[in-house]
Amino acid sequence: MTLFRFCNCTLIRNHALIVDDLWIRHGKIIDPEKVFFDERIQADVEYDCRGVLVAPGYIDLQINGAFGHDFSSPDEASEEMLLLVAQKLTAHGVTAFVPTVVSSKPETYKAVLPKYKRRAGSAKDGATILGIHIEGPFIDEKKRGAHRTDFLRTAPNGIEDLLSCYGSFNDVSIITIAPEIPNMIETVIPELVQKHNIVVSVGHSIASLDIGERAVCAGARFITHLFNAMLPFHHRDPGLVGLLTSHRLPTTSIVHYGLIADGIHTHSAAVRLAHRVHPQGLVLVTDAVPALGLPDGTYHMGAEKILVENKRATIAGTQTLCGSIASLAECVQNMRQALLDGEISKHGEVKIDKQFVVECIDAATLHPASVLHIENQKGTLSFGADADFIFLDDKLNVLSTFIAGEQAWTVNDSWSINNLRTKNSSQ
């Protein structure tokens, strides 16, 4: 079995930047010491990475569509469409994602959801499909955002009502609900978590902090796009935002929160605030609409027509934001700039803090993997993990994307795997 060595690179590993080689065999990252001392062999193929930064591949937990394709459209839904998006996302450093379906009619869910099955990624087929994120329709009308009012549902009697709406929980990884809806905390959340192994996210909600805390104690572990579609922070009742500093939550797990760092949904000061308060829970998401990767114009998402102008996507004829057109790579760059701006404003010109780079990349890799409890497999360059990784330049531009150790995309021929191969390779 071929043993690969990627040398002359800086790795993100164990929350730090380290100068080391990356060893890969059979699509996994391996410990070179075991190779040296147990097998006593050298690498079959070596690649010179030219001093590049090597990071785990990005993971997007909330993406509604991309490149003109809408995950909530029964007319478009197919394994072929999802495969096409998975392939194109590699150009943005994404090696795994969770296609998101917005509030829809029951017949739409039953037509769409069976088409989106979990699937391992590859250099040929693109990013891994990590299940489905269903956002709605059990959300609060007052914070519905771009979700259609006539599609919303409230007060389920129990898990059976959700099942009758969606048709099945097969391949569902995340469900966003408003915890203030009756029966959510008492019955629905615990059953989704304990019996169906689904991550419950709270969002599109007017919940108080107390309700949010009770939802987390019942099993919820994620917050859908923090600050957006929820009550604003108030000093007498911080709402769901207050979960970031609550002392009444279980100590056994971290509450993570999605953050859309596209420069439109979340001000850079709010990015810095969330990061300083609860950095280990920050998960960068795109909340991308089908216009991701396309020029300004008119598009559709679900039953809504959306207008994209100057990187801003709104429901046509309104000023209501309906998602982002930023890639996850851009969100990582925007978060880094937001953190740097905060340091510059306090101290004047500062050297780039390498730890900021690590924390921004962790927010798009390790943290989303932790939400899905796959942090030993994805979102890391630790030994034994899947060999999903990306090359980044000093501005965090994506130069190349690898899935299971094979190159899935490269920015140009100079970063082609064939041009990185060294003369020391034995094969």
Consult the annotation and say whether 146 binds a ligand. yes
Instruction: List all residues 6 or more positions away from 228 whose beta carbon is below 8 Å from its beta carbon.
Output: 145, 260, 265, 266, 321
Helices 268-277 + 328-347 axis angle, to 10: 80
Consult the annotation and say whether 225 binds a ligand. yes
140 tagged catalytic? no
Q: Which residue has the tokens 């006539």?
A: 150
Consult the annotation and say whether 321 binds a ligand. yes
Consult the annotation and say whether 310 binds a ligand. no
Which tokens go with 356?
Answer: 């900021």
Consult the annotation and say whether 9 binds a ligand. no
Consult the annotation and say whether 15 binds a ligand. no
Instruction: List all residues 6 or more positions away from 138 whose beta carbon is below 8 Å from its beta carbon.
Output: 152, 153, 154, 156, 162, 165, 177, 178, 181, 184, 188
Consult the annotation and say whether 269 binds a ligand. no
Consult the annotation and say whether 219 binds a ligand. no
Question: Cα–Cα distance between 362 and 302 in angstroms, integer?
Answer: 31
Q: Which amino acid is at 363?
A: A
Which helix (H) or strand (E) covers residue 168, if one does? Answer: none
Question: Cα–Cα distance between 341 and 33 in angstroms, integer?
Answer: 41
Question: Cα–Cα distance between 326 and 291 in angstroms, integer?
Answer: 9
Consult the annotation and say whether 322 binds a ligand. yes
From 70, 287, 362, 388, active-site residue: 287
**Chain-centre distance for alpha carbon 60:** 2
Please give the annotated binding residues for Zn(2+), written as ranges.
Answer: 135, 204, 225
Please give the annotated binding residues for substrate, written as ranges.
Answer: 146, 228-229, 236, 265, 321-323
Please give the annotated binding residues, written as ranges.
Answer: 135, 146, 204, 225, 228-229, 236, 265, 321-323
- Residues catalogued as catalytic: 287
